Amino acid sequence: MNDSIDLRQYFHLALKWWWLIILLAVAGAASAYIFSRRQEPVYQATATIMVGQSIQSTQLDTRDIYISQQLAQTYANIARRQPVLQSVVEALQLPDNWQTLRSRVTVNPVRDTQLLEITVEAGSPDEALVTADEVASQLIKLSPTALENQTQSKNQEFIRQRLDSLKGKIEAGQARLETLNQAMSGSLSAQQVQDLQEEINNLEQLVAGWENNYTQLLVLVEKEKSPNYLAVIEPAQTSGRPVRPKTMQNTLLGGVVGLLLALGIIFLLEYLDDTLKSPVDLEQQVAVTALGAIGRIKGKSYQDKLVTAHDLFSPQAEAYRMLRSNIQFMAIDEPVRAIMVTSPTPSEGKSTTVANLGVVMAQTGLKTIIIDADLRKPVQHDIFQVGNMAGLTDLLRTPEARPGSYLRQTTIENLWLMTSGKLPPNPSEMLGSRRMQQLVSDLLAEADVILFDSPPVLAVADAPVLASHLDGVVLVTEAGATRRDAARQAVANLQHAGATILGAVVNQFSKSGGGYYYYYHHYYHSGNGHGPQGSAATPQRQGKWLPFLK
C-alpha cells in the first residue's frame, strides 16, 4: 500500500513538472545534436604488427612465445615515444608536432597473442591509413629488427650458397648410386662386384655427410630467427565511416542528461519547498485533522467564487459539502455552533471558505449567520453584494441595539449576514470584549450555527482573542502557498489562546493531487453528466443537523 502511494506521488509530481522535464530533455538532446553536427568527422585506421617469428618456426619454443608477448608490451610503449612519432612527422611532412600526433595514436597489444594493433585517428580515411602504416614502418626501423635484417642478409647469402652446393652434390651422389645399383644387377665378375660395392659404400657415406651438413645449415637458419623480430602482418585498414562524432548516440545521451538535470532540479525545488500541498501534509507536518480539500474555482470576482450558490454540482461545491460533513463528524460529542474560520496569513481563501460553507449549511435547512469579524479588511459584504454602512462594530458600540436589526437576508434561504461595519481603531479590544461574548450568546439564541470570518492568525492578534469565545476553529491553508512553519505557528497561537481547533482545509487544491477530490471529479464528469440524485449535493432540506441544535 505504501509503495503504491509513493508511486502515485511521484506520478503526480511528474505531472506537475511535465513542462520542465520535456523542456530540459529536448534542450539537452538539441544541444548535443547541434554540437555533434558542428564537430569535424574523425576517421580511424588500424595496422597490425607481429612480435617474434615463432609462428613461422618448425620447432615451436614456448619460451620464445612468452618473450614475444612481453616484448609486445614494450613495443606498444615505444611506438608512442618521440623517436618513432618524430620520424613519422618528418616522413609524411605532417603539420603537427609529435606531441599532437601522439594524441591521435593508440597502440595496444592483443591479449594473449604476439600482435600489436596500431590505431591512428585523422580527419580523412586516407590520412589515417598512411599514418598508421608509417607508424608501423618507423617502429620496425627503430627496432633491432632492422640491424638483424642486415646481418642476417649476409649470413643468409653464404648459407644459401652452401645449401645450393650441398644440394647439388646430394642429387649427383644419389644419381650415381642409382647407376651403380643398376650395374650390380648385370653379369659381372667377382672383382667387378667387389669394386662396385666398395664405390657404393663410399658414395653412401659421402651423401650421408652432405645430408647431415644440409640439415645443420637449415637448423642454423631457424636459430637465427629472433623473438625480437617485428613484421607487419596486416596493413592499415579502415571502415571508411567516421568514428566520431556519434550524432545519434550523443543526441540520446544529451536527452538523458537533460532529463536527469530536470529531475534533479525538481527534487531540489520540492526539497526546498516547505509549503503545504495536500491534506496529507496537514496531518503529517502540522499535526491537525484534514477536514477537506477545495479545488481551484474559476473566475476572479467574489460572485464567481461563491460556487455553492450558482454551480451546485461542481466538484468544488461538493468539496464544501464534504467539509460541512467532516465538521459535523468532529462535533459528535459536543455541539459546535459558533465556528471561526481563519488562516495563518492573508490571501489564503478564508473569506471565500466562510461564504461557501455558510451557503451549504443553509442549504440543509440550518438557520445560518455569517459574521464578518475581519475588522481589518472585510470582504463578506462584497461577496454577497450588500452594503456595509452598519454592522458588527456598530452593534458592539451600542449596548442597547438588538442584533437582529444588523442582520441582512441574503439571496440564499436560511442564510443571514452581519457585515463588519465601520472599521475601528482597536479591533482586538472590541473582539475580546464582554459585549462580544454577549453578542455571540444572543445570536446563538436565534440561529443554528454562526460562522465568523476573522483576520489571519499571524497578521494580528484578533483571531486568537475571538477564538477563545467560540466553540471551534477551522484553519484555511492554500496549497503551494502556506508554509509549514506558518501553519504550525498559527496552530500554536490558537491553542495558546485556549481555542478548540476542529481541523484545517487545503484551499486551491489541484485535482492532479489525487485524493477524494479527484475521485469526486471523476464521478461527476463521467457517465451521463448529471449530478447524483438524493445525495448530499441536493439542495433540499435534509433535516436539522443534530450537533448544532441546542
CATH class entry, domain 149-227: mainly alpha
Amino acid occupying residue 212: N
Looking at residue 74, its amino acid is T
Backbone dihedral angles phi then psi of residue 401, each to the nearest 5 degrees: -75, 145
Model pLDDT, residue 147: 52
Cell numbers for 454: 476573522
Q: What is the pLDDT of residue 532?
A: 37
Q: For position 154, what pLDDT does the model report?
A: 61
Give the pLDDT of residue 549: 32
Identify the CATH homologous superfamily for domain 40-143+228-244: EIF_2_alpha (3.30.70.1130)
- At residue 152, the pLDDT reads 55
279-536: in CATH 3.40.50.300:
yes
User: From edge to edge, which strands make up the β-sheet containing 408-409?
Assistant: 290-295, 501-509, 472-478, 338-342, 449-453, 368-372, 415-418, 408-409
- Taking the domains of the chain in order of start, what are their residue ranges? 1-38+245-273, 40-143+228-244, 149-227, 279-536
**pLDDT at residue 153 in the model:** 56
| Whole-angstrom distance, CA of residue 269 vs CA of residue 261 | 12
d(CA 276, CA 59): 84
Residue 183: the pLDDT is 80
Contacts for 71 with CB less than 8 Å, ≥ 6 apart: 51, 52, 227, 228
Cβ(344)–Cβ(475) below 8 Å: yes
Query: Average pLDDT for consecutive 10-residue bins of the chain (550 residues)?
Result: 58 85 94 90 92 58 67 85 91 91 92 88 92 90 63 64 80 83 78 81 84 74 58 87 89 95 90 85 90 88 88 90 88 82 93 95 94 94 91 89 89 94 91 91 92 93 91 93 93 93 91 47 42 36 34
Q: What pLDDT shows up at residue 550?
A: 32
Residue 145's pLDDT is 59
User: Residue 528 has what pLDDT?
Assistant: 41
Per-residue pLDDT at 142: 81
User: One-letter amino acid identity for 503?
Assistant: G
Distance CA 485, CA 457 (A): 13
C-alpha span between 178 and 170 (Å, rounded): 12
